[in-house]
Amino acid sequence: MDVHNPQGEGTFLQFLPEGGAFSIPMRCLFNSEVDNLVTAGRSLSASVKAHGAARIQATAMATGQAAGVLAVLMQQGNTSAADIDPSRVRKILKAWGAVV
């Protein structure tokens, strides 16, 4: 994770321990101002520190895949993002071999 100083110069680096991982709650993909707009990658909702990990390409790809699954489930069920159980999204992603 690399956190760029929002005031200007400097970067804070933090490495996960061997085999370590972090999670991104599905609600980070929701947009608070536009109903049923799903975002991912660099545009997801996160703190400055969390964004330091979420904006990295592999994580952006993973959140994009999750956002795509979420969007399909929303369309299929004619429902909002908040009404989708995150375990449904994780189950589909795992079935596709995604790291969840």
pLDDT (0 to 100) of residue 11: 78
Contact 12, 2 (CB under 8 A): yes
pLDDT along the chain (100 residues), means of 10: 76 80 85 85 80 82 93 94 94 93
Which residue in this structure is represented by tokens 């972090």?
22
Domain ranges (residues) in the chain: 2-14+22-95
pLDDT (0 to 100) of residue 95: 97
The CA-to-CA distance between both ends of the chain, in Å, stands at 18
